[in-house]
Copies of this chain bind each other. A is one copy, B any other.
């Protein structure tokens, strides 16, 4: 039987989603807890493999098992074994052709950036930081320029394993509330570090180092070396993925769970 889970996590205690030899990945923690409920080893696959320090308001995973358990065991039973920063929100049995990664038609991310002179304390590790106010309008104009299909090679980490650097951004939005700037992105798929690199370029524009049209020249260059440095993982949240309605999943997206 194949099961899907919706999970949330604070990325700080983990070394990213993916399983690591020393067991520090979100995947490792999930697999250990699921194995303790299934009484046999379990492998999970995620909608989006987040990097070290990246959070998830809603990550979708799937796994296969022959263990027969009520759905509540895959939620509360698993939560009893998970570390505090990781929690299962729902479980469903799904069709065998459901795949958390390959069935996802879109992925969503939010980046939270604190813009004030003093570094974050209360929200350290939960927000990125820039030391002065940014011009949100110019960043919003820049965001509109990256919408649609582009070759994002200039925003791609060197180790990125994606087959193609061409991705289709359906949402790229910037808004501010007080000193907190929120960047929202949706795409079919993202390149490695793509959002943190885009945020880095937007911050240069918001700080007045370049105008919003500069983002066109970065895209055209198709060269990582022309774009600004990667922004910190701290402010990045995986906020969900979209799946065909025939899979009948509960909520697979959670934009408003960032309050704390």
The copy count of this chain in the complex is: 2
* Stretch from A7-15, A133-141, A147-155, A214-222 at the B interface: A7-15
The answer to whether B127 and A260 touch across the interface, beta carbons within 8 angstroms, is: yes
The answer to whether B55 and A85 touch across the interface, beta carbons within 8 angstroms, is: no
CB-contacts of A200-234 with B (<8 A): none
**CA distance in complex: A55, B120 (Å):** 13
Q: Considering only CB atoms, which chain B residue lies closest to A7 in the complex?
A: B121
Interface footprint category on A: 35 or more
The answer to whether A56 and B122 touch across the interface, beta carbons within 8 angstroms, is: yes
The one of B90, B119, B122 that contacts A257, using a Cβ cutoff of 8 Å: B122
The answer to whether B88 and A10 touch across the interface, beta carbons within 8 angstroms, is: no
Interface centre among A121, A122, A178, A259 (most CB of B within 10 A): A122
The answer to whether A124 and B57 touch across the interface, beta carbons within 8 angstroms, is: no
Q: How far is the CB of A83 from chain B (nearest CB, A)?
A: 9
Q: Considering only CB atoms, which chain B residue lies closest to A85 in the complex?
A: B124
* Contact residues in B for A88 (Cβ distance below 8 Å): 118, 121
The answer to whether A87 and B259 touch across the interface, beta carbons within 8 angstroms, is: no
CB-contacts of A33-70 with B (<8 A): 55-57
